[in-house]
Amino acid sequence: MNILVCISKSPDTTSKIAFSNDNTQFDDNGVQYIVNPYDEWYALVRALELKETLGGQVTIITVGTTTDEAIMRKALAIGADEAVRIDADPKDAYYTAMQIAHYAQSNGFDLVLTGKETINYNGSQVGGMIAEALDAPFVSLATKLEVNGTTIQLEREIVGGLELIEVALPVVVSCAKGMAEQRIPNMRGIMAARTKPLQIIAPQAIEELTNFIQFSAASSKASVKMIDADNMDELVALLHSEAKVI
């Protein structure tokens, strides 16, 4: 089983989000980057589990700059065999997906896994775009994945429920909670990661179909109105006549 796992960096979940250059750019001063949790906890770990039972190889790929090498080492320490970095600043989902699709096309994979979305731009787009470019089926928001010879069975989230489906390989899958459990890299993994190959590839010429022109930090609430625990009638009255939500 030859598996490609797409990983992205994202700011640590406790990061304060600020912008620079007249609010046109994310200000990553002092921000600690992590592997995007969905990519790490679900996509990467499930890929490793499949490799452990079926044999094969797990390659991680990211579209990013030299600052991304720390998260690539982390993914290698968790157990990926090889790491590829397309040397570009990924500003647009289409641009990013086309770079990965080009690599996947030239190298041939049975399975391409992504996280459900990144926790920075939250687009949930890259997996579907890769699948279209590869003309492969795409299963989004999968919570379980079992390989059965040349087909896979997946459970995926649908509105208010779950669906069990079957599809033939090769497939692109975006992975959500339920797929696997987070793994903490051990000392051996961390040591081994230092010597595993990091392949750096020049990007293809691909246009960006979208761009962010401005950001704004979430507006903070006006001060909270405190209500006495013994006066729930007042809370109900305020929710009705002031907030107008009931």
Partner 1 sequence: MILVYISSQNGISKSAFEAVTYARKLDSEVCVLTCGSASEAQLSAFGQYGAQKVLVDRKIDGSDAQQLTKLISQYAQELNASTLVFTHDFVGKAIAPRVSVKLKAGMVAGAIALPEANGSIKVNVFSGKASGFVKVNSSVRIISLLANSIPLELNETACKVEEITANTGDSKIKVISVKKPDGAIPLPEAEIVVSAGRGLKGPENWGMVETLAQTLGAATACSRPVADIGWRPHHEHVGQTGVAIRPNLYIAIGISGAIQHLAGVNGSKVIVVVNTDKEAPFFKAADYGVIGDAFDVIPKLNAALVKFKAANN
Binding mask 74-93 vs ligand FAD (x if CB under 6 A, - otherwise)?
Answer: --------------------
Count residues contacting partner 1 (CB under 8 A)? Answer: 83
Q: Which residue is nearest to ligand FAD (CB)?
A: 13
Instruction: Pick what 200 binds: partner 1, ligand FAD, none; C-beta below 5 to 8 Å, kind-dependent.
Output: none
Strands 9-11 and 33-35, by their bridges, are antiparallel
187 binds partner 1 (CB under 8 A): no
Least separation in angstroms between CB 213 and partner 1: 5
Q: Select 13 or 195, whichever has its Cβ closest to ligand FAD.
A: 13
Least separation in angstroms between CB 192 and partner 1: 28
Total count of residues recorded for the chain: 246
Q: Select 64 or 170, whichever has its Cβ closest to partner 1.
A: 170
Instruction: Pick what 224 binds: partner 1, ligand FAD, none; C-beta below 5 to 8 Å, kind-dependent.
Output: partner 1
Q: Which of 20, 105, 122, 199 binds partner 1 (CB under 8 A)?
A: 122
Burial of 58 (0-12, 13-18, 19+ CB in 10 A): buried
16 binds ligand FAD (CB under 6 A): no
Residue 189 CA to residue 89 CA, distance in Å, equals: 28
Chain CA centroid to CA 202, Å: 22
Residue 73 CA to residue 80 CA, distance in Å, equals: 9
**Which of helix, strand or coil describes residue 3?**
strand
Q: Select 40 or 155, whichever has its Cβ closest to ligand FAD.
A: 40
Q: Contact, 92 vs 114, CB < 8 A?
A: no
Residue 149 CA to residue 146 CA, distance in Å, equals: 10
Q: Contact, 34 vs 12, CB < 8 A?
A: yes
28 binds partner 1 (CB under 8 A): no
Binding positions for ligand FAD, rule: CB under 6 A: 13, 37
